[in-house]
């Protein structure tokens, strides 16, 4: 592992934090915390922690020893001084005389000793940091170290590599007891430069930020070198799964919904390497033993569901076999909970849904409530995968026992890291918006993202310079929605990323103009292609997906007031839109039985790619009014915005008993009102 310490960068941190009165020792602490936190092979998503001890004056002007330690759940890659709460050190040190301390007492005691009562909770490993005498203490869950501390004969291997430089600490879950144990072991040989925590990770310490960081990199590199020297090839099974349909992902979502009554997102990983990994010999034996470090279990549970080749072949013949396997996994999880629930007072079972499903010969799925969760579970799984695979070269992989896994998974202090707010009612729902790069498409996307939905945008072209911030939050797919092949390819990408589609906003449109008495027929045909057939093409495909999902759905069309109230010169546009209005009604009629609701929005005079500034000027001049008057020429006398249209679409999603409906968003236009 490369040592990234850079004296100029260190000085920059000191200078930057000096401006806001942050002590240089703490600034350097933040610097090396970032160095560690940005290395995925060391820590991930809120894992690991660091600290620094220094002296500061209290309000009575007395010099006090204090410790700054990472806040619980804060991310080492990007935290600032606010994520490093300060505590008075001496009261923390006194706890070493206690034999017992409950978690509640520990958390309370830590909070009582904060320098700033508004600080976040300090790490659950604060006492461990406090009891060690060194100025700087660094803790990571390095992949290479985890390969070595999760072996049947770890102590022997560790002694061989690190000698007396690092002391070995047996597994104890984080908290007061672990802090005490580490301190006892450290006292036996105070010359050690760090601690190896079995089934957990590594601590290093030093007199300055650089020394502690250097030691971390040095010992992790030693571990990596040892493993590399022992590397050989893994054995893989031959791939016998020769057909695979993305329907499998849709089926998974459906089964999760039946079990959990919530929507889940399913992401397929099927690169060459993923497929190869899935075929690893003995994968089911290796990957069901437990975590490589305890704080992974809250993110990905202690085991993935592994579907072997023979079972996938059976599933290909009869989909119900998938149902049986997933339900068995969930049932086993319930049994595990019941067996162990007395370990933690008042523990309530979490969901039973697996976070990783390995599909032998296909790759694997990562599963979560939202995109962020999927990213976390996937990153954690990848690091677990690396540690387990590498452990095979140096010994026999061995995790903690089930009781300890449960204690960690349901430990209230650990669960607090999940920030388990109540699930947003639409969380896990996937919305596809066509014409997504346009003004109205973007407004809808913004609204839906704020409401917790996952967004896919289809459009011919995305200009990332225009709205990168929004597009980065969406899955943007370049798609020609007048072409069946292009639509199918794009939908496949959506299924691969999310496992299904719950909401379609068929929004794309182009305003074709001309007088009917003189228009070329091609213009009418072109208008029908985009303003009618594209709606039909995509709806047909989405309805079929929604039927497999068996979770209902909402399909919405951006129609137009033209569908009911013709405007001069707008014949080619209005004709197609009228057909789309009918299409909406026809789908509503046909899909009601599947709980798929089909509705529309009739908007008018929204400034967008269709209604440009130039166009507005022309129209207003023709009527002898100002552009503003033109835009607010409605019953409410107010301009109608793309955001108003977005609100209408969003409300259609919420109206669970409404189908075949049109909402008008035109500020009031009696001629265009439906009767």
Give least dist CB 27 to Zn ion, A: 24
Q: Which is nearer to Zn ion, 293 or 309 (CB)?
A: 293
Give least dist CB 290 to Zn ion, A: 16
Residue nearest Zn ion by beta-carbon distance: 201
Q: Which is nearer to Zn ion, 146 or 663 (CB)?
A: 146
Provide the token pair at 27.
């600034």
Give least dist CB 144 to Zn ion, A: 15
Give least dist CB 41 to Zn ion, A: 15
Q: Which is nearer to Zn ion, 42 or 392 (CB)?
A: 42
**H-only helix segments in 364-425:** 371-394, 402-409, 412-415
Give least dist CB 147 to Zn ion, A: 16
Q: Which is nearer to Zn ion, 71 or 201 (CB)?
A: 201
Q: Is 199 left (phi over 0), alpha (psi -120 to 50) or beta?
A: left
Give least dist CB 164 to Zn ion, A: 23
Q: Is 646 left (phi over 0), alpha (psi -120 to 50) or beta?
A: alpha
Residue 270: helix, strand or coil by DSSP?
coil
Q: Which is nearer to Zn ion, 185 or 324 (CB)?
A: 185
Provide CB contacts within 8 A for 469, sequence distance 6+: none
Give least dist CB 201 to Zn ion, A: 5
Give least dist CB 590 to Zn ion, A: 56
Residues β-bridged to residue 558? 601
Distance CA 561, CA 566 (A): 8
**H-only helix segments in 85-208:** 89-94, 103-112, 126-131, 143-149, 154-162, 176-188
Q: Which is nearer to Zn ion, 46 or 201 (CB)?
A: 201
Name the residue among 51, 54, 74 with its Cα closest to residue 63. 54
Give least dist CB 185 to Zn ion, A: 16
Provide CB contacts within 8 A for 648, sequence distance 6+: 601, 603, 663, 665
Q: Which stretch binds Zn ion (CB under 5 A): 94-102, 201-209, 335-343, 418-426?
A: 201-209
Q: Which is nearer to Zn ion, 39 or 459 (CB)?
A: 39
Q: Which is nearer to Zn ion, 130 or 576 (CB)?
A: 130
Q: Which stretch binds Zn ion (CB under 5 A): 113-121, 126-134, 199-207, 225-233?
A: 199-207
Q: Which is nearer to Zn ion, 141 or 535 (CB)?
A: 141
Residues 157-196 that bind Zn ion (CB under 5 A): none
Q: How far is CA 650 from CA 23, 427, 556, in A?
A: 49, 14, 10
Residues 73-92 that bind Zn ion (CB under 5 A): none
Give least dist CB 498 to Zn ion, A: 32
Give least dist CB 141 to Zn ion, A: 6
User: CB burial class (10 A; 0-12, 13-18, 19+) of residue 356?
Assistant: buried
Q: Are 535 and 481 in contact (CB under 8 A)?
A: no
Q: Which is nearer to Zn ion, 414 or 666 (CB)?
A: 414
Q: Which is nearer to Zn ion, 29 or 369 (CB)?
A: 29
Residues β-bridged to residue 206? 136
Q: How many residues does the chain have?
A: 675
Q: Which stretch binds Zn ion (CB under 5 A): 153-161, 198-206, 393-401, 633-641?
A: 198-206
Give least dist CB 169 to Zn ion, A: 12
Provide the token pair at 210.
């650089």
Give least dist CB 381 to Zn ion, A: 18
Name the residue among 157, 213, 280, 295 with its Cα closest to residue 33. 213
Provide the token pair at 66.
């204090």
Distance CA 370, CA 419 (A): 14
Q: How far is CA 246 from CA 13, 267, 357, 548, in A?
A: 49, 11, 14, 12
Distance CA 602, CA 581 (A): 9
Q: Which is nearer to Zn ion, 201 or 304 (CB)?
A: 201
Q: Which stretch binds Zn ion (CB under 5 A): 152-160, 197-205, 360-368, 508-516?
A: 197-205
Q: Give the number of residues in contact with Zn ion, rule: CB under 5 A.
A: 1
Provide CB contacts within 8 A for 525, sequence distance 6+: none
Q: Which is nearer to Zn ion, 201 or 436 (CB)?
A: 201
Provide the token pair at 456.
């896919």
Query: Which CB contacts under 8 angstroms, 24+ apart, belong to 67-71?
Result: 67/92, 67/126, 67/129, 67/130, 68/26, 68/29, 69/122, 69/123, 69/125, 69/126, 69/129, 69/130, 70/33, 70/122, 70/123, 71/119, 71/120, 71/121, 71/122, 71/123
Binding site for Zn ion (CB under 5 A): 201
């Amino acid at each position: 592992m490369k040592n990234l310490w850079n004296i100029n960068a260190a000085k920059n941190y000191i200078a930057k934090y000096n401006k806001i009165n942050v002590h240089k020792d703490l600034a350097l602490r933040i610097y090396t915390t970032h160095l560690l936190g940005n290395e995925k092979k060391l820590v991930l998503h809120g894992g690991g922690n660091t600290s620094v001890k220094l002296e500061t004056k209290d309000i009575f002007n007395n010099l006090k020893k204090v410790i700054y330690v990472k806040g619980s759940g804060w991310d080492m890659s990007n935290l600032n001084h606010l994520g490093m709460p300060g505590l008075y050190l001496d009261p923390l040190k006194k706890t070493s005389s206690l034999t017992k301390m409950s978690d509640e007492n520990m958390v309370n005691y830590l909070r009582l000793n904060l320098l700033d009562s508004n600080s976040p909770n300090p790490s659950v490993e604060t006492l461990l940091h406090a009891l060690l005498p060194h100025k700087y203490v660094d803790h990571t869950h390095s992949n290479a170290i985890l390969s070595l501390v999760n072996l049947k004969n770890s102590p022997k291997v560790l002694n061989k590599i690190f000698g007396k430089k690092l002391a070995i600490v047996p597994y104890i879950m984080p908290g007061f007891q672990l802090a005490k144990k580490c301190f006892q072991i450290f006292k036996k040989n105070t010359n050690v430069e760090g601690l190896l925590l079995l089934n957990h990770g590594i601590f290093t310490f030093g007199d300055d930020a650089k020394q502690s960081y250097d030691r971390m990199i040095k010992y992790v590199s030693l571990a990596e070198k040892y493993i590399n020297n022992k590397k050989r090839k893994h054995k893989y099974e031959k791939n016998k799964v020769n057909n695979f349909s993305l329907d499998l992902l849709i089926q998974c979502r459906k089964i999760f919904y039946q079990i959990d009554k919530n929507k889940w997102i399913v992401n397929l990983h099927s690169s060459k390497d993923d497929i190869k990994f899935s075929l690893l010999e003995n994968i089911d034996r290796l990957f069901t033993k437990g975590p490589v470090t305890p704080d992974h279990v809250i993110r990905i549970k202690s085991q993935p569901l592994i579907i072997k080749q023979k079972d996938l072949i059976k599933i290909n013949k009869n989909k119900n076999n998938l149902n049986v396997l997933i339900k068995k996994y969930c049932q086993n999880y319930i049994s595990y909970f019941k067996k162990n629930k007395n370990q933690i007072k008042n523990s309530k079972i979490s969901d039973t849904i697996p976070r990783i499903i390995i599909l032998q010969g296909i790759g694997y799925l990562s599963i979560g409530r939202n995109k962020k969760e999927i990213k976390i579970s996937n990153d954690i799984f990848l690091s677990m995968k690396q540690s387990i695979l590498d452990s095979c070269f140096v010994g026999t992989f061995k995790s903690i026992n089930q009781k300890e896994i449960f204690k960690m998974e349901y430990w209230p202090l650990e669960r607090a890291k999940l920030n388990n707010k109540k699930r947003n009612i639409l969380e896990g729902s996937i919305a596809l918006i066509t014409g997504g790069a346009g003004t109205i498409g973007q407004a809808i996307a913004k609204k839906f993202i704020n409401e917790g939905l996952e967004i896919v945008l289809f459009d011919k072209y995305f200009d990332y310079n225009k709205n990168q911030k929004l597009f980065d939050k969406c899955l943007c797919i370049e798609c020609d929605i007048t072409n069946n092949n292009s639509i199918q390819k794009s939908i496949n990408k959506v299924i691969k990323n999310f496992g299904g589609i719950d909401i379609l906003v068929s929004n794309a449109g182009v305003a074709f103009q001309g007088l009917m008495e003189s228009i070329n027929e091609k213009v009418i045909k072109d208008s029908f292609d985009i303003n009618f057939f594209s709606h039909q093409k995509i709806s047909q495909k989405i309805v079929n997906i929604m039927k497999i999902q068996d979770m209902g759905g909402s399909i919405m069309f951006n129609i137009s007031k033209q569908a009911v109230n013709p405007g001069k010169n707008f014949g080619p546009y209005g004709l197609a839109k009228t057909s789309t209005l009918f299409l909406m009604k026809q789908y509503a009629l046909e899909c009601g039985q599947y709980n798929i609701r089909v509705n529309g929005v009739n908007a008018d005079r929204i400034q967008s790619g269709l209604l440009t500034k130039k166009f507005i000027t022309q129209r207003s001049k023709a009527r002898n009014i100002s552009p503003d008057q033109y835009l607010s020429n409605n019953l409410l006398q107010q301009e109608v915005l793309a955001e108003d249209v977005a609100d209408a679409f969003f409300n259609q999603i919420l109206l669970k008993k409404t189908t075949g409906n049109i909402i008008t968003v035109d500020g009031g236009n009696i001629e265009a009102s439906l009767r």
